[in-house]
Amino acid sequence: MISALAWVPKGASQRMPEKLKLTEQEMQMLRQAATEEEADEHDAMEAAMAEEDAEEQAAAAAKEQEGAAADSDGLPASFKMDEYDDEDDDAAINNYIGNSGAIEDGVEEEEEETSGDDDEAQQPDDDGNVAMEDDEEEEDEDDELEMDKEDVEIRPTDAVVLVANTEEDFSNLEVQVYDDETGSLYVHHEINLPAFPLCLAWMDCAPVPLDPSKGPVDGSFVAVGTFKSGIEIWNLDVLDVLEPAVTLGGEQNDELRDVAMPKMSKRRKNRKIALKPGSHQDAVMALDWNSSHRNMLASGSADATVKVWDITTQSCLYTMAHHTNKVQSVRWNPVETTVLASASFDRSLVVLDGRQPNAFSKFALSAEVESIAWAPHDPSTIVASTEDGAVVGFDVRMNGSAPLFRFDAHAGAVSAISFSAQVPGLLATAGVDKTVKLWDLKDNAPVCVTSKEMNVGELFTMSFYQDSPFMLGVGGSKGVLALWDTSENEGVERRFGSRVQGSATGAAAASSDISASFRSPYQLGEELVLEEEREKQQQTQQGKKKSGKNKGKKHK
């Protein structure tokens, strides 16, 4: 099954990925792991041989008890085996010796024929050139190298999509390449993962110390969240890689990861796991990279916390505990890039500014959340999908307000939602009912434009390609990636074709300061106190007015 996917921006991948070069330490770890695996296999083989010997001994004992009807060779006495002599054996030996001479003669003749063929092959042609076998072999090797380069090369026009796939107990990350010209989709290379993958986030910032004069180091990396507490960051420009570049949080001892050699000794299994400082305490369920502050990565966990990490120092900058249950989704605002949204199984959506995490807006959801997404062309609007099949939108500037819209999208959980980065109002929803639906959210009045069954089972993940207005990637229970060019649908082309305008770069000018509407608990308390004081003042004034009227009546 495919549990997560993420697109790589066009041209961000290294054209010719590098081959893995193991360090001496990594070689030593592999040798040690191989030795332990060999010892385990040896012990298992000895146990199996001992069991087989015991079975053979038991069978032999049973035969001995069959009676005196069998002779010492284990054959019935009526066969009279003792009366046979060795004449047949002597005849067989003489026959073999007689034929050996003929065999040797045949070998000599074959060698002479082969030698003659070689001489003919090395005869010069009309121009006096002799074809040498070494030259032909070198040409074959050059052709093979050229073919290898073509297989490995990722062209700047290729679309690269990262797919987290699991079959039975084996999980891996597939780097798939789509050639728009030929329509071909193939797996370029794979990365083994330590546990079931829950979320992915692509990034271009290398997890190395930051040089203030130069800024972050460029590259192509992916952060992976699994049922383990650590966040692994992998270098996508290296083939056959065995270990992540770094791990944010997670287990203190890297040897416990054990992906290259999956079998662990009993000694390792029984070892107590210690976590790094600042680590999540449970599975990492959500990730989102900040493309403006490139060293920052947000994560949400089953431990009910949201963390912001510095990729370059591999440290946790701060932890937020606004939720009381598992955090299913986190998203940075595309325009106000310090604003972060998170949604949890506690049926709440929280929006805050990372510079003042104690100030936030909070919105109630009708059920446990599945996915959230910011509207790229209307950055104050955030949309959430829930397990009851609903999709709801909020204006985050209106703390705790009623939703802008709400509609029932699917018969069952809406597992994923995604906006087109280049078409205002185009929203895609995916559900466990195996279908994708496209919606027009113009003027906050949702209209279903079309729907399609993707034939890849129940749908768990989906995303628009940021470099294409209409290309959509979908994954589900069958473990097959499905791509849909939604512009092929006449209704989509008719409704959205004229709206294509590229990425939402101009949206910032039209947006207001979102974070200005956030309130900290202290500020909310002060506002409540002020509101209570105003109500008391109003009640006092109303009481004075009533008493004044009553006095006037008495005087009359």
The pLDDT tens digits of the residues spanning 25-74 come to 767 777 787 787 788 888 888 888 888 888 888 877 777 776 555 555 55
Is the model's pTM score more than 0.95?
A: no
* Cβ burial 234-268 (10 Å sphere, 16+ → b, else e): bbbbbbebbbbbbbbbbbeeeebbbbeeeebeeee
CB atoms under 10 Å from CB of 284, counted, come to 31
Full DSSP string of 448-492:
EEEEEE-SSSSEEEEEE-TTSSSEEEEEETT---EEEEGGGSHHH
- Residue 287 and residue 294 in contact, taking contact as beta carbons nearer than 8 Å: no
- Please tell me the distance from the alpha carbon of residue 493 to that of residue 489, in angstroms, as a whole number: 6
Q: In what order do the strands lie in the sheet with 381-386?
A: 369-374, 381-386, 390-395, 405-408
Q: What is the pLDDT of residue 71?
A: 53
Using the structure block, give the residue that is written with the tokens 């949201």. Answer: 306
- Residue 217 and residue 206 in contact, taking contact as beta carbons nearer than 8 Å: yes
Residue 264 has pLDDT above 50, yes or no: no
- Residue 429 and residue 447 in contact, taking contact as beta carbons nearer than 8 Å: no
Q: What is the pLDDT of residue 450?
A: 97
Confidence of residue 265 (pLDDT cuts 50, 70, 90): very low
Burial category of 138 from C-beta neighbours within 10 Å (exposed 0-12, middle 13-18, buried 19 and up): exposed
Coil, strand or helix at 231: strand
Q: In what order do the strands lie in the sheet with 170-179?
A: 2-8, 159-167, 170-179, 184-192
Q: Mean of the pLDDT values across residues 289-306?
A: 96
Residue 22 has pLDDT above 70, yes or no: no
Summarised one tens digit per residue, pLDDT across range 216-254 is 889 999 999 999 999 999 999 999 888 899 999 998 875
Burial category of 476 from C-beta neighbours within 10 Å (exposed 0-12, middle 13-18, buried 19 and up): buried
User: Which range scores top for mean pLDDT: 50-54, 80-84, 294-298, 527-531?
Assistant: 294-298
How many CA atoms lie within 13 Å of 302's alpha carbon, on the beta-carbon side? Answer: 13
Summarised one tens digit per residue, pLDDT across range 346-371 is 999 999 998 888 888 999 999 999 99
Q: Which of 424, 430, 504 is nearest to 462 (CA)?
A: 430
